[in-house]
Amino acid sequence: MMLKNSAPFVLIACGFLASSCASLPVSDTRTGDEAAIRVLDEQWSATAAKNDLEGTLAFYSDDAVLLPPNSPMAADKKSIRESWAGLLGPNKSTSWKASKIEVAKSGDIGYLYGTYQLSIKDPKGGPAMNDTGKILEVWKKLSDGKWKCIVDTYNSDIPVPAVPAMKK
């Protein structure tokens, strides 16, 4: 008899506990995640500045995509490697700096944007080309808790040359 009368009380108590647990605040890790991405991105830029191809590629996830300007999308490791191999090497210098970093409240995805600088010297060491531009990176926290870049793109501030007018 006692069990029969206590059933409604148990159900009400369970409902109350479930609703109070649902309203507990979820830990917001955005500040720490943004700081982690900033540190990783600074390390990535420093690695590229050393012309370290393997180290530079290590910041990408296995399924990353690179969207280089004026080129097809690099959607696999081989094409990303080929794109970076053209940017790194003797007489080349590249670096970038994040202007803004933001992470979703969920803590599993973030992005940054900023600026880059690329310099290429001629074989005698004189300047051959200097370029500045913008970057955009999308970062994802993988199942192991590590952040990796999943989408990367950049484009130049140098104006595109004017196309000559066609003769009629």
Q: For 122-167, what is each residue's pLDDT tens digit?
A: 887 777 889 999 999 999 999 999 999 999 999 999 988 888 888 7
CATH: 1.10.1740.10, 3.40.50.300, 3.10.450.50, 3.40.50.10540. Which one for 28-156?
A: 3.10.450.50
**pLDDT in the model for residue 5:** 57
Which tokens is 34 given?
Answer: 């943004």
When pLDDT is averaged across residues 16-20 and rounded to a whole number, the result is: 48
**pLDDT in the model for residue 104:** 97
**pLDDT in the model for residue 4:** 53
Tell me which residue has tokens 């917001």.
28
Is the pTM higher than 0.85? The answer reads no
Which tokens is 124 given?
Answer: 């005698």
Distance CA 72, CA 59 (A): 21
Tell me which residue has tokens 């940054």.
112
What is the 3-state composition of the chain as percent helix, strand, coil, each rounded to the nearest 5?
A: 35, 35, 30
Residue 39 confidence (pLDDT) above 50: yes
Distance CA 52, CA 54 (A): 6
Decide: 148 and 61 in contact? Cβ < 8 Å.
Answer: yes
Q: Where are the domains of the chain?
A: 28-156
